[in-house]
Amino acid sequence: MEITSKKWLKVRTIILLVFFLLLFIALVSRAFQLQVLSAERLQKIANKQHNKVLLIPPERGIIIDRNGEKLAASLTAESIFADPSKIADPKETAEKISSLLQINKKTTEEKLSTDRSFSWLARKISPELADRVEKANIPGIFVVKEPKRFYPNGTLAGPLIGFVGLDDSGLEGLEMVYDRDLKGNPMKLVWAQDAKKKKLYSRVDNSDANQGDSANLILTIDSRIQHLAETHLKEAVKSKGAKGGVVIVMNPRTGEMLALANEAGFDPNNFSAYQVGDLKNKAITDCFDPGSTFKPFMAAGALEEGAAQETDRFYCENGNYRVANRVIHEAKRKRHGVLTFSEIIKYSSNIGSAKVAEKLGKDKFYQYITKFGFGTKTGIDLHGESSG
């Protein structure tokens, strides 16, 4: 009996040891799964539940002309956002904040009634309004600083520079073309919260070495030449009764753009007040007839191919020259008899140019037109360029 009892005790002991060994192995396996195999996935879930991130754009890079004159810069402005999870009475809060900010009460109440923990209420407002909100000290309503784009010269080079939207993204002009460089990478404002979504603390996440790394943009434009071009263009359009006009000033030795003016410009500081058509950079997007400025390119082809010499003489038909079913006239009804090749260019004779072009031949003329770049884009770093 005693031997049987000892054997049973030994069996029970072994069973308990095996049970605890299996339990230990199961616990270690589970811990290994949680701490090692699933660690990354669980860490992401925990961060999502306990951490909230607000992306704050860094100060946008400045745009300056060739002389260092600022054409676009960034100032600091206040914006208002809400954490609906901290608002006990959305209706009452909506009444207070809409009264302070002069915004729609119904829309505000809808934003405050969501189950989200973040909602914009007003962006880039005046310091006076932001000060009122801070002094009101409304639970769940917060003030954050954001960069705001400012154009110190108003309408100067507006279509060229372009503008940015509320989210600090370039929407037109150079602001859009170089948006990624000017904008940089957003700063991360991270705050932790408990199970009841109560905010514990906030911090700036500096783990990304590239965040806030915005670049400045230096133009070939000379703001003084740009101002003169715009001023004289407006005067010329007004005095001639024209529908509009553009002026492009270039350095002929380097091809650098010194000024690019549109008669119908706009102020990027208040771009929403203008019609969509006024925001176009017509010097880039619109095609135009080169007129008599095209004659030197024809002349270059004729000289290169030996179709004409400077001293060659052409009869200019006294102002009327029929080609097929068209009659070519001289400008301002002028009449020319015989002109040398040089005089044809000097007096800008339409008939003389047509006769030289006939000697050059349409195929050769077309080759030179394309070699000079007509009908193709220049590749200028501006949006919406037409091929002409």
Q: What is the pLDDT of residues 95-154, one digit of tens each?
A: 888 888 888 888 888 888 877 778 888 888 888 888 888 888 888 888 888 788 999 999
> pLDDT-based confidence at 11, cuts 50/70/90?
confident
Quote the CA–CA distance of 109 and 90 in Å, as a whole number.
6
Distance of CA 117 to the CA centre of its chain: 30
Query: Between residues 209 and 8, which one has the greater pLDDT?
Result: 8
Residue 195: its pLDDT value, please? 59
Identify the burial level of 306 via C-beta atoms within 10 angstroms of its C-beta, where 0-12 means exposed, 13-18 middle and 19 or more buried: exposed
Q: pLDDT tens, 206-226?
A: 555 555 578 999 999 999 999
Question: CA neighbours within 13 Å on the CB side: how many for 90?
Answer: 17
Residue 338: its pLDDT value, please? 93
Quote the CA–CA distance of 305 and 368 in Å, as a whole number.
10
Query: Between residues 4 and 302, which one has the greater pLDDT?
Result: 302
Q: Is the pLDDT of residue 185 over 70?
A: yes
Residue 207: its pLDDT value, please? 56
The CB density around residue 304, as the number of other CB atoms within 10 Å, is 12
Question: CA neighbours within 13 Å on the CB side: how many for 381?
Answer: 13
Mean pLDDT of the chain: 85
> Which of 264, 254, 259 has its CA nearest to residue 228?
259
| 108, containing H or E segment | helix 105-112
Q: Which residue's entry shows tokens 């206040």?
A: 78
For the chain, the residue count is 388
> Token digits for 170?
């370039």
Quote the CA–CA distance of 136 and 111 in Å, as a whole number.
19
Q: pLDDT tens, 75-108?
A: 888 888 888 878 878 888 888 888 888 888 888 8
pTM, whole model, 2 decimals? 0.69
User: Which residue(s) pair with 188 in the sheet?
Assistant: 55, 205
Q: Could you give all domains of the chain from N- to C-terminal order, each with its CATH number?
A: 53-62+72-153+175-215 (3.90.1310.10), 291-371 (3.40.710.10)
